[in-house]
Amino acid sequence: MRRALFIVLGLGLAVGGAALAEGQSNQDAYQLQEPHVTSAQVLRLPSDASCLRFTRVTVRFLPPPGAVFGLLQVRADGAEVIRMTGVPRAASATVRLSGARTRVRVNGTTLGGQVIGASRTYRRCGATKPKPKPKQHTAPQRTPVPVESGGGETG
């Protein structure tokens, strides 16, 4: 009896979950009213609090339903590395870090004219340069006195 109850309950949850998911997937981001968006709500950039061992960072973009971005730009050290247009849902971009420091800037504009932006400066953890060995000052070496061989008495 318990087994039958669990089966019926499981099927009910599965059907209900599928109906809920289908209802959410039918929403067209272009048809919804655009909500107010902030940079903190939409952009996810890795922390720049410490140095990075890796040569890449991933910028994540998570707009709320109804917020469609007409333009989303990612720049590294002033050069545009990624440009996305018409972004209605989550997206991500991986940016290569060049050199010891790289400034990553993300800007976006919704179809309704809202502007977001964020920037971070990432430092790469480099191998520490070995300290030069101190030069040891040694006394100049004396040239040995040549050994004379032979000789003897003349006579």
Residue extents of the structural domains in the chain: 55-123
Tokens of 30: 């272009």
What is the per-residue pLDDT across 57-92, written as a single tens digit (0 to 9) for each?
999 999 999 899 999 999 999 999 999 999 999 999
Query: In this structure, are residues 115 and 108 in contact, taking their beta carbons and an 8 Å threshold?
Result: yes
CATH topology of domain 55-123: Immunoglobulin-like (2.60.40)
User: Of 65 and 15, which is predicted with more confidence?
Assistant: 65
What is the per-residue pLDDT across 94-122, written as a single tens digit (0 to 9) for each?
999 888 899 999 999 999 999 999 999 99
If one counts every other C-beta atom within 10 angstroms of the C-beta of residue 105, the result is 17
* Identity of the amino acid at 1: M
Q: Where does the pLDDT of residue 23 fall: very low under 50, low under 70, confident under 90, or very high at 90 and above?
A: very low
Taking CA atoms, 125 is separated from 35, 51, 54, 94, 99, in Å, by 40, 5, 8, 19, 11
Q: pTM value? A: 0.61
